Structure 1
Amino acid sequence: MRELDATDREILSLLLEDGRRPWADIAEHVDLSAPAVADRVERLREVGVVRGFSVDLDRSRLREGVEVLVELTTEPGETERVRAATSGLDGVEHVFTTAGGGVVLTGTFPADVDAHLASEVPMDAVREYEVRLLTDVAWHPSLGEAKLGLPCAECENTVTSEGVTATLGGETYAFCCSSCKSQFEERYERLAEGA
C-alpha cells in the first residue's frame, strides 16, 4: 500500500475547495487524465480517506433561529448516548466529542434553545451544559501535512507503505502485513460460511 503522494494531496486539496469539481478540471491541475484522477479518488474512497461528497448548508439562511455553540458535560459513560441524540437533532451542523467526556455542537436552533435540547437529548445523561450565541461561523477543512494513517483491520496497528489491502464483500480493508490479511480473510470466510 502506498502513501499519499504529492498528486493525491493536490487532488484532495482541490476537492476540499469544491467537492463538485469535474475530474477533467482536476486532471488539468495535476497533469493526469480524468480517468486517472477518478481512479485515485476511488482508491482514496476505498481506504476511507474520502468518505463521501456532501453539501455544506448554511442553515441560518434557510430558516429562522439563532446560531449557537452548545457544550454538554455528560455523566460518566453517557457521552455516546448524548452524541447520538444530538447528531439527529434538527438544526445541528457539527457534533464533536471530547476526551474529557463532553459533547460540543454547533447549529441553528429556535430561540428557546433549552426546550429544543430537551426535546431530543436525554438530559438525565447531561451533568451541565452551556449555550453561547455565535456571531460568525466558518468551516475550513484542510489537508495540511497529514500522512495516511489507516488502522490495520486485524490488529489495529498503523498501516505503513508496506501494508496490503483486500476487498471482501465489496468493502476494502487495509492490513499492516500479509499475516494479518491472511488471518482476517480466514475468519471472514468462516463467518461467511456460517451465515
Structure 2
Amino acid sequence: MRDLDDTDLNILRLLLEDASRTYSDIAELVGVSPPTVSDRIDRLRSMGIIRRFTIDVDTDKLADGVAVLAEVDLCPTVDDEVLDRFAGLEAVDHAYLTADSRVVLKANVPRGEVRDLLADAVELDLVENYEVSLLSADRWEPQVADPDAPEGTEQPVVR
C-alpha cells in the first residue's frame, strides 16, 4: 500500500474518526512527536492519499426533499467532465462514474425533480436510461485497511 507503515495507517484511521484532531492528540495516540505527525500528514497529502479535510454533514436534515440513489446510463461519447458537473450540483452528496459511462448519485431532491437534476448536469439526449430508488437510510464510513492483515479483519487504531 504505497509505502505506508503502521504509523501512517494509524494517523489515517484517527483522522477518519475525527479530522479535527490536533497533531498533539494524534501524536500521543500513535506514540510519535507532533512534528512527526505534521511531516507524515504533509507526505500523505503530497502522495494524494489525503485529499482534503472536511466534515460529514447530514444534508438530508438540511434540505427539503427526498434522498435518492440515481443510476444514470450515459452515451459513451459523454465528455470526461460529466462527473464533475454532477458532483458540483448542490443536491448531490456523492457521485461516481463507472467504466461503462454509468453515473451513480446519492442526492436529495424535491419529489419528482430527478429529471431536472439530470438536466442541470448533462444534455438529456445523452441520457440513455436512468433508475431512481428512494433511500430509507445511508451510511458512509471509509476504512483504512492494513495490507498485511487477513481479509475481513477489523483494523483498530494502535494506541
TM above 0.5: yes
Cα pair distance change 1:98/1:41, threshold 3 Å:
same
Query: How many pairs were matched up?
Result: 146
Structure 2 unaligned regions, length at least 5 = 149-159
Structure 1 stretches lacking a partner, 5+ long: 148-195
TM-score, normalising length: structure 2 = 0.84
Higher relative contact order (CA 8 A, sep 6+): 2
C-alpha spacing 1:81/1:30, structure 2 compared with 1 (3 Å): closer
Residue in structure 2 matched with residue 171 of structure 1 by the alignment = none
1:35 partnered with 2:35: yes
In terms of fraction of residues, the more helix-rich structure is 1
Shift of 1:27: 0.7
Q: Structure 1 residues 138-147 or 29-38, which shifts more?
A: 138-147
Larger CA Rg, structure 1 vs 2: 1
Deviation at 1:79, TM superposition (A): 5.8
2:141 corresponds to 1:140: yes
Cα separation, 2, equivalents of 1:145 and 1:56: 24
The one-letter code of the counterpart of 1:75 is: C
Q: Percent identity?
A: 42
Runs of 4+ in 1 over 4 A off after TM superposition: none
RMSD, matched Cα: 1.8
Report the residue type matching 2:88 in the other structure: G
Structure 1 distance, partners of 2:45, 2:19, is: 13
Q: Please list, as runs of the form range in 1=range in 2, the aligned pairs for 1:1-195 lying within 5 A after superposition.
A: 3-78=3-78, 80-111=80-111, 112-146=113-147
